[in-house]
Amino acid sequence: MKMILSSVVVPPKLLLQLCLSTLHLIFVSIFSTVRRWTAGDCNGTNSPDRALDGSKVQTTTPTSVNYHFTRKCNYKCGFCFHTAKTSFVLPLEEAKRGLKLLKESGMEKINFSGGEPFLHEKGEFLGKLTQYCKQDLQLPSVSIVSNGSMIKEKWFQKYGDFLDILAISCDSFDDATNQMIGRAQGRKSHLDNLYKICNWCKQYKVAFKINSVINTFNIDEDMTEHINELNPVRWKVFQCLLIDGENAGEAALREAERFVISDQQFQEFLGRHSGVSCLVPESNEKMRNSYLILDEYMRFLDCREGRKDPSRSILDVGVKDAICFSGFDEKMFLKRGGKYVWSKADMKLNW
What is the amino acid identity at position 129? Answer: L
3-state DSSP helix/strand/coil % of the chain, to nearest 5: 35, 15, 45
Residue 281 vs residues 209, 211, 219, 276, 337: alpha-carbon distances, Å: 14, 10, 14, 11, 9
80 is catalytic: yes
Question: Helix, strand or coil for residue 176?
Answer: helix
Question: Helix, strand or coil for residue 256?
Answer: coil
**65: closest CA among 111, 97, 127?**
111
Find the catalytic residue in 42, 77, 201, 303.
Answer: 77
Find the catalytic residue in 80, 133, 303, 324.
Answer: 80
Question: Helix, strand or coil for residue 198?
Answer: helix
In this structure, are residues 25 and 32 in contact, taking their beta carbons and an 8 Å threshold?
Answer: no
73 is catalytic: yes
Cα dihedral across residues 87, 292, 270, 233: positive or negative: positive
**286: closest CA among 247, 216, 338, 232?**
338
Complete DSSP assignment for 292-307: -EE-TTSEEEE-TTSB
Find the catalytic residue in 73, 170, 198, 324.
Answer: 73
Catalytic residue IDs: 73, 77, 80
